[in-house]
Amino acid sequence: MPLAYIISRDSAVSGCRYTLAMPNVTHPLTANPAPRRWAWWCLLFVAFLAGCATGPVDYPRTESFIETDTRDTRIGRGVAEWQQAHPGMSAFYPLIGGMDALGARLALIDAAERTIDTQYFLMKSDDAGLIFVMKLLEAADRGVRVRFLLDDVFTSVDDEVFLLLDQHPNIEMRLFNPLGRGGNRWLNYVGDFDRANRRMHNKSFTVDNQISIVGGRNIAEEYFELKKGGEFRDADILVAGSLAEDIGRNFDQFWNHPLAVPMEAFESARFDRDLDTARAEADEQFGAAMQTIYGQALGSELMQDLLADRVSLFAAQGEMISDEPDKLLNEISVDQQVLVTRMAEVVSGAESEVIVVTPYFIPGPNGVEFWRRLTERGVRIIVLTNSLASTNHVAVHGGYARYRHRLIQAGVELYELRVDAVTESGDDDGPTIESVTLHTKAMVMDRRYTFIGSLNLDPRSIDINTEMGVLVDSTDMAASLAVPFMEVLPERAYRVFEDENGNLRWKAIIDGQEIVETSEPQSGGWRRFKAFMSRILPESQL
């Protein structure tokens, strides 16, 4: 399938936990220590003083579903052509670079003819969010049905923007598990903690029910190499064929769920603009972003190679794995942990090597024993996570830090990302990158199976939130990711080990020289203090 045929720019017109009294449930990849009840009583006391407003989750809604017959679209014809050459297979391609990931989304929006279904944990009011929304509006103008589902907690875009989008006859917005809009937002969160703590962390983007992008990225500048001063290192995977239909059906489950509230439920908010006025006001900023960001995204080396059909997609069998949305309505149990249970089965079957990349890693006692059993069978376990300097959640690092000795003693090769792992000078048109945070959620097993998705290896992802991802059986794709990863790992991360006295040490190759640090590298005293103090927090919430 020439990908240029599918996403050519000429193809379309373009210019927190649920229950306070929680059982002590454990899972092989993590452990779930019982929460400190005094913390919950404090939260409840604050909520009692503040009062709260609940989200309108009982608002009426109309069900809608994927369009199953989209084979006559440009994308559908391209996928059909590819599948004739690769019967029984789906097509895959990893999207590692941020601009590549943004370019792929924008190209697919331009190519869409029938439907766009997009589902994210958060979106921000920045250039990435602006371009994404304006391109969706362009697609809707030419008759494409757009369904846009966002989790509500960390989405910082004003309701007015979504209400304006919702005015378009071809766009429908829904917020997942929304907070109440009366009073203080975060006091509403605490006051309705039982429900509001459970979040949809899924990220998927599907066009014409034929091609999807799944992974760890949200819609904000830091995920696409656009953030000045610092950015996230993340990963997505492009999926075409029958597996994209599975992703579309999974989207329907969340879209039609009682926790997915139509934007009309918030129409009591007063504003003076209509959609046409808002678009006119945004045109200047959008035009500037189109001249820079849009061109850079579609002009990236990978996008040019894809558009010119110089890159072969990986033909393989794959599996879409997702928690059910009802996970957020049920008490925490192994039965609700669909994704992590399936991944534990796959990882347990490893024979030689498991590479784990996760921003947040809190294994718990059960998780440590899980990895120990694998190393005792001779399986090499390599884990890369954030260092204290690179993490964006110091409290999570505090929870992870208490397990480092046990992980190392269990035989795990433990690495922490250097905050200056990639330093670029930038140019007049691009940002200067000063710090890097790991946000990739991926695993490679036996250089054969690759998982890319939204799952962090921490209690919040495993127990509290819903997660999704794609598992691919392809030795070629696994090797294309694992080989360069292992080559650069000693230079871009610190290997954490114990010295002869059992003290933690951090080793890295910097400018060709081996450097050994005796304390949390690249982090100041105040950050270390915060990480240490955060160990009193309930691990079950991290």
Using CA atoms, how far residue 96 sits from 216, 393, 488, in Å, is 10, 22, 15
The interaxial angle of helices 127-141 and 98-111, nearest 10 deg, is 20
| CATH match for 318-541 among 1.10.3660.10, 3.30.930.10, 3.30.1300.10, 3.30.870.10 | 3.30.870.10
Percentage of the chain modeled with pLDDT above 90 = 74
**Structure-block tokens of residue 352:** 């030689």
Q: How confident is the model at residue 402 (pLDDT cuts 50, 70, 90)?
A: very high
| Out of 201-205, 207-211, 233-237, 264-268, least confident range | 264-268
Strands (E), 183-312: 204-207, 211-215, 231-233, 236-240, 260-262
Mean pLDDT, range 151-174, rounded to an integer: 95
Instruction: Return the higher-pLDDT residue of 46 and 191.
Output: 191
pTM of the model: 0.91
Give the residue with greater pLDDT, 146 vs 56: 146
How many CA atoms are closer than 13 Å to the CA of 220, on its beta-carbon side? 24
With cut-offs at 50, 70 and 90, classify the pLDDT of residue 500: very high
* The pLDDT of residue 181: 83
pLDDT over 80 at 8, yes or no:
no
DSSP letter, residue 8 = -
Phi, psi of 308 (to 5 degrees): -90, 5
Residue 241, pLDDT above cutoff 90 = yes
Most confident of 270-279, 286-295, 513-522: 513-522
Q: What is the DSSP string of 438-502?
A: E---EEEETTTEEEEES--BSHIIIIISB-EEEEEE-HHHHHHHHHHHHHHHHHHEEEEEE-TTS
pLDDT of residue 542: 82
- Range with the poorest average pLDDT among 17-31, 271-285, 438-452, 519-533: 17-31
Tokens linked to 47: 């909520």
Question: Residue 2 above 70 pLDDT?
Answer: no
pLDDT at res. 5: 56
Spatial distance between the Cα atoms of 28 and 371, rounded to a whole number of angstroms: 9
Q: How many CA atoms lie within 13 A of 349 on its CB side?
A: 9
* Mean pLDDT value across the chain: 89
Per-position DSSP letters for 133-200, written without gaps between them = HHHHHHHHHTT-EEEEEEESSS--S-HHHHHHHHTSTTEEEEEESPPP-SS-HHHHHHHTHHHHT--B
What confidence score (pLDDT) does residue 423 get? 52
pLDDT of residue 3: 57
The helix/strand count (H/E) of the chain reads as 19, 20
Domain spanning 3-17+58-180+198-307: which superfamily? Endonuclease Chain A (3.30.870.10)
Surface-to-core class of residue 502, CB atoms within 10 Å of its CB (0-12 exposed, 13-18 middle, 19+ buried): exposed
The whole-angstrom separation of Cα 479 and Cα 489 is: 15
Tokens of 301: 């080396």
Mean pLDDT of 29-33: 52
Q: Are strands 436-438 and 231-233 parallel, antiparallel or unpaired?
A: parallel
Residues 6+ apart with CB under 8 A from 332: 17, 18, 19, 22, 23, 25, 32, 463, 464
Q: What is the pLDDT of residue 22?
A: 30
Q: What six digits make up the tokens of 145? A: 């049905």
Percent of the chain with pLDDT over 70: 87
At 270 the pLDDT is 59
State residue 466's pLDDT score.
98
Exposure of 223 in the CB half-sphere (CA atoms within 13 A): 26
Using the predicted structure, report yes or no on whether residue 47 has a pLDDT greater than 80. Answer: no
The reply to whether 318-541 shares the fold of 3-17+58-180+198-307 is: yes
Task: Provide the pLDDT for residue 356.
Answer: 98
The pLDDT-based confidence of 535 (bands split at 50, 70, 90) is confident
pLDDT band at 223 (very low <50, low <70, confident <90, very high): very high
Question: Within 13 Å of residue 536, how many CA atoms lie on the same side as its CB?
Answer: 5
Q: Which residues are catalytic?
A: 201, 203, 208, 439, 441, 446
Flag whether pLDDT at 430 surpasses 80: no
Domain range annotation of the chain: 3-17+58-180+198-307, 318-541
CA dihedral 398, 400, 406, 411 (to 10 degrees): -140
- 363: confidence class by pLDDT, cuts 50, 70, 90: very high
Q: Express each pLDDT in 51-110 by its tens digit.
A: 556 778 889 999 999 999 999 999 999 999 999 999 999 999 999 999 999 999 999 999
pLDDT at residue 479 in the model? 98
Least confident window among 36-40, 80-84, 367-371, 448-452: 36-40
pLDDT at 428 over 50: no
The pLDDT value recorded for residue 191 is 82
Please determine, for residue 338, whether its predicted confidence score (pLDDT) is greater than 80. Answer: yes
Nearest to 480 by CA among 444, 437, 453, 456: 444
* Residues 535/398, Cβ–Cβ less than 8 Å: yes
